[in-house]
Amino acid sequence: MITEPSIAPGICDELVRAGLDVDDVTTLLRLAVEEDLDGGVDVTTVSTVPEGQRSVLDLVARRPGIIAGVPVAAAVFSYVGGDGVTIAEVASDGDRVAPGDVIVSVSGPTHLLLQAERPALNLLGHLSGIATLTRTWVDEVAGSGAAIRDTRKTTPGMRRLEKYAVRCGGGMNHRMSLSDAALVKDNHVIAAGGVAAAFSAVRERFPGIQVEVEVDSLDQLDEVLDAGADLVLLDNFTPEQMQEAVLRNAGRAKLEASGGLSLDVASAVAATGVDYLAVGALTHSAPVLDIGADLRQEA
């Protein structure tokens, strides 16, 4: 009987504490490992590495950044290596690392370590890149009272992981799915016949859910504030318009700036008094943090 690979219970507990679904992570790891082998074997490793050889593989930062995904990388090695590997998590998610810092150290059969190496690096580098970019935005608006929030512009199948990485970088999550909260955008407004009509329709159908409404003018802002919106997304407002929106709002709703925001204007936007900056780039454009894998003989 063939036993399906699984993740060690202790690492599963870590994933749960991080707000991640173990089944989702397991499915992703299975796909990543199967994609790498494509039904065959690692022809290079089985040709060059003696059967039974044991080594230590260190995942090492090559660039400075913020780490995210340590338990996910550990889960890769656990999934591939089972009881045959020993995993030491040297860094923790949210830590700032410098070049040369060891993040994860794994000992076990060399064949298994090299099989797990690339999927682990891909995930750890991607998530750490998101955390690093998020921290850059968070630092840019520090002291303003504004928070950095992500969007649903995520990689299909990786939303929970990517939004977790945003949290590791000090950012906040917007809704996780279409069912978490309502966000009335321009297309909904057109379909409903007006911004106030769209807001009222959602409030009537789902009375207990938070409703955010996108507006592209100060007149629309006044309309949705009078209707009782919880949160208003200011789409492509100038900083001057945002300041006026904050004055008109007078604390009635939370205000979120959105629409092509960039780091060079983040401080000025935050200074207007808005509550959130919505930044899709956190997940759709974050560069991968350069992390390498160094193999050494087991002591």
Catalytic residue among 185, 248, 252, 296: 185
Check if 214 is active-site: yes
Catalytic residue among 118, 152, 203, 254: 118
Catalytic residue among 96, 153, 203, 254: 153
Check if 163 is active-site: no
Catalytic residue among 14, 117, 140, 214: 214
Give the Cα separation of 169 and 67 in Å (integer).
8
Check if 216 is active-site: no
| Residue 217, both tokens | 């003018």
Residues with catalytic roles: 118, 153, 185, 214, 235
